[in-house]
Structure formats: C-alpha cells, structure tokens
Amino acid sequence: MKNKPDGFFSQEFKSLINGLLQLEPSHRPSMAEVMEHPWYKGETATEESAKEEMLMRKEQIEEQAELDRAEKQA
C-alpha cells in the first residue's frame, strides 16, 4: 500500500484482506464468509476493460524497458 494513492484500495477490500490475514486461524473468515463479503460480491471488470487495462500496462512496461535500454547505452 505504500506506493498506492489514498483511496486506491476500497474499504471493502481492506476489510476482507485484514480478515484473511488474521494471525489466529479461528478469527479468519470461512470460504462461505469470503464469498458473502461485500468486496467479493462487488463489481467486476468486463472482459474488454480487462484487456484494455492489460494492454495499457504492457505498453508502460515496454516503454520503461526501452528507456532502461537507452539509459544503459548512454
């Protein structure tokens, strides 16, 4: 979370993750509870929006790799 802007993770997501990371196993949610959690039942990306996001990330990685190559050559 250090490198993410405020609000990047929803409160529902943080709630679920905090529950899953409880040290005491008996305090962790069951699979049924996870599947009923508001975050799990929330909005999901469409196939098209997921593809667009992955293409954008791929382009960013390729651009950074090109900058790194140019920097090494300089």
> What is the structure's pLDDT at 36?
94
d(CA 5, CA 9): 9
Q: Is 80 exceeded by the pLDDT of residue 1?
A: no
Tell me if residue 64 falls in helix, strand or coil: helix
Model confidence pTM above 0.85: no
Q: Is 90 exceeded by the pLDDT of residue 74?
A: no
Domain limits of the chain? 7-43, 45-74
Per-residue pLDDT of 16-71, as tens digits, reads 999 999 999 999 999 999 999 999 988 888 999 999 999 999 999 999 999 999 99
Tell me which residue of 13, 42, 19, 23 sits closest to 31, measured CA to CA.
19
Tell me if residue 50 falls in helix, strand or coil: helix
d(CA 57, CA 66): 14
